Each structure stands twice: as structure tokens, then as C-alpha cells.
Amino acid sequence: MSETTTPHATERDDFQATSDPALLESADRGESQLLSYRQLYQLWERQQWRTQDLDFSQDRVDWHERIPPDEREARMYGLSSFFVGEQRVAEELGPMMRAAPTEDMRIFLCTQIADEARHVAFFDRFYSEVGVLEADDLSGRLAETSEHLNPEFGEMFDEALKRRVDRLAARPEDLETLVEAVTIYHMVIEGMLALTGQHFIIDYNQSVGTLPAFVEGFLNVARDEHRHVAFGARFLRDMARADTRYADAIQRSMAEVLPLAEGVLRPKWADDLPEDEEIFGATLQETREFAAKALGRRLKVIGLAPAA
Ligand SMILES: [Fe+2]
Ligand SMILES: [Fe+2]
């Protein structure tokens, strides 16, 4: 109705309830009110939603009649990264859940597997109801949309993360590898890449008034991701306090994948764009700063210095 800027969704009580350090200024001072694994599970019970409730009819009109073809093509990078990314993480989480050392951790990670499945279903519904692609089933849509991804995406998901999860599947007692996998999955992929992309994609759609059902569902996805990242921060803090070996594992895996994260944040078609050129309302520089600030706050709460 009005054009005034509404406060960002992350200020809402339900987002704040996740206790993700990135949403709390107090985290800059290293103060944390991280929830316990049991509290995170209980929050999951209270934060359910259904992809079936979303009505994509206006989104369909927007996509085909209001968004110009070149902008549709440019938007495909962000959308594909999420659709394929959700499917990849949903597949990798099983061995991580099994390797988690306590019952409360495993129960929370079971809820996260259900969430990631719902996120895949959300994107699948968006793509099929809006008519974004030619393919007519989930695996066809995933294959078709994968063409928009860049090489760093493959290195992050199919190499850095998958290699560790494969190791965990064979040796679930290997806690150091679990710490590395959670660092890559919860801190980098969800915390830096997904939540940064979501922030800017939601803002852009709201500012130009497009894809209302997509925005509604994507906000639910974002709230789930903050809850997942809050679990990751709690887990890594507990592990880092238990043994410096685990703190080293966090730093080591981060040093390996941060350069890849940088590449994933840059769309394939934006390779030659200058740093200060705006893409959908934000420059690459702003996107990177947003991701770095979120990571810095979480690392402070975990008890580690932000990566240089
Ligand atoms: Fe997800
Ligand atoms: Fe997630």
C-alpha cells in the first residue's frame, strides 16, 4: 500500500527468536544468547509452514509479463543457486546428522533435513507454477537450471562439502570432520551465501513489487536458515570450547572455502562487471560486506577472531 520502507523482516520477533548472532548487535561485543539444541528443536515446532499455501498466480503474471527477458535471464543465477543448493544440502545432511555426538543435536538435525526438503519443494513449486523452465519434472528442472551456475558453486558443494560428508558416512565418529562440515555448511553456505542472497533478493523484489508469493515463501525459508545457522553457531562454540583441535578445524576449513564463497556470490554473467556496478539494487562490494559482517558476528560468539 504505502511506499515507506518497512523494517526488514529480520527485525520481526520470529526471526529474532532464532538467536542467530548475525541478527544481534550484542554479538559485536561477543555476547551471545545462543539457544540450546532442545530450544532450537522447540522453535522448529512453532515455526512450521506449508509450500501448498502459496498462490503463485500473480508471480506467474510478473515473470512473463512484467519482468523483461534480459532481467529474467539475470535473475536465473540467484534462483538456480538456491534451487540446486537446497537440493545438494538436503542430500548431504543425513551423514552429518548421524555423526552428531548427542541425541539433542541429532534430533535438531533431523528437523533440518525436513526443512531442506521443504525448501526444495518450495523452489520446485515456484518453478513449475510460474513456468520458469521447459522441463516438466523435478530432476529435469534441476538439470536445466544447473546451466546457470558457476564453477565455484560446484567446488563448494560437490567437492569441499561432499568430500567431508563422504568421509563422515564411512567414519561417523570423526568429530573433526563433522566440525569442518558444519563450518562449510552452516557458517559459509547457509550463513554467508544463502542468507546474503536471500536478503538482497527479497529486498529487490519488495522494492520493485514483483513475485509476492515467492517473497512470502522465501521469507519462511530465510527464517528456517537463521535457525539452522543458530544451531551451527551453538555446535561450533561448544566444540571449540571443548578442544582447540576443533577451533583449528573451523579456521582451516574456512580458509579453504572462503575464496570459493567469494566466487559463488558473483553471478556467472557478472564476470566482467565493475565492483561498484549495482546488480538488483546492490553492488558486489555491498553483498560481500553484508556476508562478512554476518560471519564476523557469528565467529565472535563462537569465540574465534573473524577471518582476515
Ligand atoms: Fe535450506
Ligand atoms: Fe538450511
Ligand nearest to the Cα of 231, by number: 2
- What pLDDT shows up at residue 150? 87
> Taking residues 240-250, what's their average pLDDT?
97
Distance from residue 112's CA to the centre of ligand 1 (Å): 8
Ligand 1 mean position, distance from CA 192 (Å): 13
Identify which ligand lies nearest to the alpha carbon of 220: 1
Of all ligands present, the nearest one to the C-alpha of 85 is: 1
Q: Over the stretch 136-189, which tens digit does the pLDDT of each residue have?
A: 899 999 999 888 888 998 999 999 999 999 999 999 999 999 999 999 999 999
For residue 274, report the distance from its CA to the centre of ligand 2, in Å. 31
Mean pLDDT confidence for 219-234: 97
Task: Look at residue 228 in the predicted model and tell me its pLDDT.
Answer: 98
Q: What is the pLDDT of residue 89?
A: 92
Q: Count of CB atoms within 10 A of residue 269's CB?
A: 15
CA of 26 to the centre of ligand 1 (A): 26
CA of residue 79 to ligand 1 center, whole Å: 13
Ligand nearest to the CA of 116: 1
Query: Which fold would CATH assign to domain 54-302?
Result: Ribonucleotide Reductase, subunit A (1.10.620)
Q: What is the pLDDT of residues 268-287, one digit of tens each?
A: 667 777 777 777 778 888 98
pLDDT at 7: 67
pLDDT of residue 156: 94
Q: Report strand pairing: 278-279 vs 282-283.
A: antiparallel
Q: Predicted confidence band at 1 (pLDDT cuts at 50, 70, 90)?
A: very low
| Ligand closest to the CA atom of residue 229 | 2
| Residue 91 CA, ligand 2 centroid: distance in Å | 12
Q: How far does the centroid of ligand 2 lie from the alpha carbon of residue 116, in Å?
A: 6
Q: What distance separates the 2 farthest-apart alpha carbons in the chain? A: 57
How many of the other CB atoms lie within 10 Å of CB of 308? 5
Ligand index nearest the alpha carbon of residue 226 = 2
Give the closest ligand to the alpha carbon of residue 118.
Answer: 1
Q: Which range among 29-43, 133-147, 221-235 has the greatest average pLDDT? A: 221-235
- CA 117 to ligand 2 centroid distance, Å: 10
Q: Of the candidates 179, 240, 256, which has an alpha carbon nearest to the alpha carbon of residue 32?
A: 240
pTM: predicted TM-score of the whole model, two decimal places: 0.93
| Angle between helix 69-99 and 103-130 (nearest 10) | 160
**For residue 308, what pLDDT is reported?**
47
pLDDT confidence band for 3 (50 / 70 / 90): very low
Domain layout of the chain by residue ranges: 54-302
For residues 123 and 86, the answer to whether their CB atoms sit within 8 Å is yes
User: Ligand 2 center to residue 254 CA distance, Å?
Assistant: 18
- The mean pLDDT of the chain is 91
Distance 306 CA to ligand 2 centre (A): 22
| CA 196–ligand 1 middle distance (angstroms) | 13
How far is ligand 1, taken at its centre, from the CA of residue 3, in Å? 30
Q: Give the Å distances, CA to CA, from 296 to 109, 248, 308.
A: 24, 17, 10
Task: Assess whether pLDDT exceeds 90 at residue 212.
Answer: yes
> With 80 as the cut, is the pLDDT of residue 109 above it?
yes
- Compute the distance from residue 1 Cα to the ligand 2 centre, in Å: 32
Å from CA of 129 to ligand 1 middle: 20
Question: Distance between CA atoms of 204 and 188, rounded to whole angstroms?
Answer: 23
State the distance from the centre of ligand 2 to the C-alpha of 187, rounded, in angstroms: 10
| Residue 170, amino acid | A
Best CA proximity match to 214, nearest among 9, 7, 56, 48: 56
Q: SS in 3 state form for the chain? A: CCCCCCCCHHHCHHHHCCCCHHHCHHHHHCCCCCCCHHHHHHHHHHCCCCHHHCCCHHHHHHHHHHCCHHHHHHHHHHHHHHHHHHHHHHHHHHHHHHHCCCHHHHHHHHHHHHHHHHHHHHHHHHHHHHCCCCCCCHHHHHHHHHCCCCHHHHHHHHHHHHHHHHHHHHCCCCHHHHHHHHHHHHHHHHHHHHHHHHHHHHHHHHHHCCCHHHHHHHHHHHHHHHHHHHHHHHHHHHHHHHCHHHHHHHHHHHHHHHHHHHHHCCCHHHCCCCCCCEECCEEHHHHHHHHHHHHHHHHHHHCCCCCC
| Average pLDDT estimate for 48-64 | 97
